[in-house]
Amino acid sequence: MSYLTKNYNRKKISFIRGKGSYLYTANGKKYLDFVQGIAVNSLGHSHPELIKVINNQSKKLWHVSNSFIIPEGEILAKKLAKGTFADYVMFQNSGTEATEAAIKVARKYFYSIGKPKKNRILCVKNSFHGRTIAAVFASGSKKMTEGFGPKVVGFDHFKFGDHKSLNKKITKNTAAIMVETILGEGGIKVIPDWCLKELRKICNKKKILLILDEVQCGIGRTGDFFAFEKSKVKPDIVPIAKGIGGGFPIGAVLMNKKTASGMTAGTHGSTFGGNPLAMKVGSKVFDIISNKSFLKDIKKNSSYFIDKLNAIKKKYPKIIKEVRGRGFLIGLQLYEDQTNFIEKLMEKKLLTIRAAENVIRILPPLNVKKNELNSAIKIIEQVCSTY
């Protein structure tokens, strides 16, 4: 009997230990973990440098209130600002807090320049920005909002890829367009670079803000530090989380100077956000992932892996419909429901996770080894051959 609520459909398996790309059960079974906490453990399990950092800091200081200066947070904020489009950073603890805070930043900016009615956020229908009450209504998904009324107002929606409807939905009250640069839960759907460029142009023309949710696709996952970098587009606000903590809960909102101007003292806060323990871990993760040769390896290894997946798709064209994604944010879209396929992969000790549109999400750690990629390929091919 479990005393946990039933809001997860958990697999009947648990793990006692993790190392790099692998998870181990109590009876010694070893699984290749290509879920990694859903793109959270960016450097795999038990990374020695992260263990060292957390051990050292745990002996010094875990938590102090944000009423005091936190030097460890100043350092990480500086790294994030100097290394990216951002001028300012606001720390949180999770992705959904970061996306909600991003909405607050956008609204407060317009309020502070005397345009309080410019407060509506335009999002992709059935996207994913988290599970808090505003974030589910931002997603516009019936499945996520049903039963959680009254409706949180202030969000408009357009269909992914429907540019006509996007333009139609922008009104004088639109404050921002908020999209995931690559839709994760929605089925690993990449917004093409030209679309991101168009989005930026539309936002400039209409004088609205561009929020790119990089909670899942950011922090090196695509081989660039941010997924939007490839398009050369500069967003105004970017919520991040997952990968920046390498398994430790950290969220943040990155923003440019203009949008940060509304966030004066007392406008937002978080008890846990930006504590010294989290900041030390985040700093180390940032140092490792932002290294140019580390990012280059992600591009090289992921394109090797994606080529192999495409070869399997070519061999089994009736099973695999499409190989989607970029870097190590990969979706294997099947023609049929993917549940059984995921089970079969698990029986052969490869862990993957579902996304919408019959997609199997494959999320190796960013420092995955070539022989581990080869093992995964072998398993996927074996499952295809017995399907």
Beta strand extents in the chain (DSSP E only): 17-19, 22-24, 30-33, 88-92, 120-124, 155-158, 174-180, 182-183, 189-190, 209-213, 237-240, 251-255, 320-326, 329-334, 350-351, 353-355, 359-362
Nearer to ligand PLP, 40 or 376 (CB): 40
- In the chain, the largest separation of any two C-alpha atoms, in whole Å, equals 64
Beta pairing partners, 346: none
Minimum CB separation of residue 216 from ligand PLP in Å reads 3
Contact positions with ligand PLP (CB under 6 A) in 1-40: 38
Nearer to ligand PLP, 122 or 383 (CB): 122
Beta pairing partners, 183: 189
Minimum CB separation of residue 149 from ligand PLP in Å reads 21
Stretch that binds ligand PLP, among 93-101, 153-161, 354-362, 372-380 (CB under 6 A): 93-101
* Contact between 95 and ligand PLP per CB under 6 A: yes
Stretch that binds ligand PLP, among 90-98, 143-151, 278-286, 343-351 (CB under 6 A): 90-98
Whether 65 and 73 have beta carbons less than 8 Å apart is answered as: no
Query: d(Cα 245, Cα 284) in Å, to the nearest integer?
Result: 9
* Contact between 229 and ligand PLP per CB under 6 A: no
Whether 169 and 122 have beta carbons less than 8 Å apart is answered as: yes
Minimum CB separation of residue 249 from ligand PLP in Å reads 8
Contact positions with ligand PLP (CB under 6 A) in 97-156: 99, 128-130
Nearer to ligand PLP, 178 or 380 (CB): 178
Nearer to ligand PLP, 72 or 213 (CB): 213
**By the criterion CB under 6 A, which residues form the site for ligand PLP?**
38, 94-96, 99, 128-130, 180, 184-185, 213, 215-216, 241
